[in-house]
């Protein structure tokens, strides 16, 4: 009988780590499991996307004015249902909903946590079968009781209890942090269990990849233009010229750069001074993971985790990757001012 090496499931891992959280009574464990359950359901639909009527647009726009894809709507509804039913979360902020969804039913209004989420990230890539993802942030509520409120969600990244993403790629992975490092779990579809496959994930010290949509070059700040040229200079001692890799799904670009070492850049432009990515459910959770993996995440001048959100869907420039790479980008931004 071939002995399968001992696998650690997501539930076993959290329970093993539970001892590190004496105050926790299992609520965060149950909440993470609710997210994992929803991820498995979304994963099933994505894998069948080419075969069933789940592709294409849902025929309406979301609060961002972006055309919603059927899978955006399906993923959003799946995560909301799982979180509402789980009882650990009393409110949700979603990319797909203009306002906070608060759960005032008896069961969930007692939930200690709130969740901000991008239920499906990289939607524009669905039809081309490119990896997409889900991004989530978990905060402890600050309001006393009753269904959660907007103030529960408008918290800086420094207050995050946990953050993670699911990447629906060649394999489906759940990667998350609760503030004690980053761990990656790969879904074994034959039994529907997330198994620990990437313990203690960390950026390589130095990276050789830069990821940015260079189609927007003419709209970039001078500091970003200078940094792109720096990446393209010939200097073998510092592994330059770097390799350019950009797929257009934040989760997929970030995950590749975390594994192989690279910087992801989504700057503000003259067209969109605050950039495209949303602070609450894209930049802040990714920043928490990046910092916990020994990297850095900045808006070009300050730490993403320190930005106090004022509105649910506010945007922020995002530069994230190994510390040395983000430091270099920030030095160019400083030299060139805000031009
Ligand atoms: P979403 O599908 O949730 O709207 O996110 C798409 C985002 C992000 O995933 C990606 O990094 C970025 O859009 C790509 O934008 P460009 O196509 O402008 O490069
Ligand atoms: Mn997104
Ligand atoms: Mn999205």
- Going from N- to C-terminal start, the domains of the chain cover 4-198, 209-335
Mutate to test the pocket of ligand 1, among 277, 279, 315 (most ligand atoms within 8 A of CB): 277
CA-to-CA distance for 66 and 124, rounded, in angstroms? 10
Query: Comparing 4-198 with 209-335, is the CATH topology the same?
Result: no
Domain 4-198 homologous superfamily, CATH: Fructose-1,6-Bisphosphatase, subunit A, domain 1 (3.30.540.10)
Please identify, by atom number, the ligand 1 atom nearest to the C-alpha of residue 64: 4
Which residue owns the Cα nearest ligand 1 atom 14?
A: 248
Q: How many CB atoms lie within 10 A of CB 192?
A: 12
Q: Measuring from atom 8 of ligand 1, which residue has the nearest CA?
A: 250
Ligand 3 ion: residues within 5 Å (CB): 95, 118, 120-121
Query: 146-176, pLDDT tens digit by residue?
Result: 788 999 999 999 999 999 999 999 999 999 9
CA dist 112 → 138, 148, 221 (Å): 10, 9, 41
Please check whether residue 214 is in contact with residue 325, taking contact to mean a CB–CB distance below 8 angstroms.
Answer: no
Q: pLDDT value at position 2? A: 47
Quick one: residue 223, left, alpha or beta (phi over 0 = left, psi -120 to 50 = alpha)? Answer: alpha
Q: Is 68 a pocket residue for ligand 1 (Cβ < 6 Å)?
A: no
The mean pLDDT value for 65-83 works out to 87
Arch. (CATH architecture) of 209-335? 3-Layer(aba) Sandwich (3.40)
User: Which residue has the CA at smallest separation from atom 2 of ligand 1?
Assistant: 122
* Ligand 1 contact, 122 CB (< 6 A): yes
- Distance from residue 284's CA to the centre of ligand 2 (Å): 12
User: For residue range 124-147, what is the model confidence (pLDDT) as tens digits?
Assistant: 888 888 999 999 999 999 998 778
pLDDT for residue 61 is more than 80: no
Answer for the pair 323, 294: CB distance below 8 angstroms, yes or no.
Answer: yes
Average pLDDT, the chain: 91
Q: Which residue has the higher pLDDT, 47 or 329?
A: 329
On the question of pLDDT at 306 being above 80, the answer is yes
CA 319 to ligand 1 centroid distance, Å: 14
Beta strand 132-140 pairing with 162-168: antiparallel
């Amino acid at each position: 009988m071939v002995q399968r090496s001992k696998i650690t499931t997501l539930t076993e891992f959290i329970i093993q780590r539970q001892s590190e959280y004496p105050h926790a009574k299992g609520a965060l464990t149950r909440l993470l499991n609710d997210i994992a359950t929803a991820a498995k359901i979304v994963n099933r639909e994505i894998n069948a996307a080419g075969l069933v009527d789940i592709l294409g647009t849902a025929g309406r726009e979301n609060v961002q004015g972006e055309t919603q894809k059927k899978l955006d709507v399906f993923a959003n509804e799946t995560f909301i249902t799982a979180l509402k039913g789980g009882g650990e979360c009393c409110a949700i902020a979603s990319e797909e909903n203009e306002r906070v969804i608060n759960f005032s039913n008896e069961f969930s209004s007692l939930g200690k946590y709130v969740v901000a989420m991008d239920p499906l990230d990289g939607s524009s890539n669905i039809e081309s079968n490119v990896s997409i993802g889900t991004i989530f942030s978990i905060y402890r509520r600050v309001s006393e009781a009753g269904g959660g409120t907007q103030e529960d969600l408008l918290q800086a990244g420094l207050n995050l209890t946990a953050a993670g993403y699911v990447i629906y790629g060649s394999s489906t992975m759940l990667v998350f942090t609760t503030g004690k490092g980053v761990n990656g779990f790969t879904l074994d579809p034959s039994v529907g269990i997330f198994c620990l496959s990437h313990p203690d994930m960390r950026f390589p010290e130095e990276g050789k990849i830069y990821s940015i949509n260079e189609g927007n070059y003419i709209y970039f700040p001078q500091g970003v233009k200078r940094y792109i040229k720096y990446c393209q200079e010939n200097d073998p001692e510092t592994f330059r010229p770097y390799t350019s890799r950009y797929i257009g799904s934040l989760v997929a670009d970030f995950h590749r750069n975390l594994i192989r070492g690279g910087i992801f850049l989504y700057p503000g432009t003259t067209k969109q001074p605050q950039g495209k990515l949303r602070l609450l459910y894209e930049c802040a959770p990714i920043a928490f993971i990046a910092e916990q993996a020994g990297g850095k995440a900045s808006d070009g001048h300050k730490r993403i985790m320190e930005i106090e959100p004022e509105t649910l869907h506010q945007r922020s420039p995002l530069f994230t990757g190994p510390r040395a790479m983000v430091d270099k980008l920030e030095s160019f931004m400083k030299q060139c001012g805000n031009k």
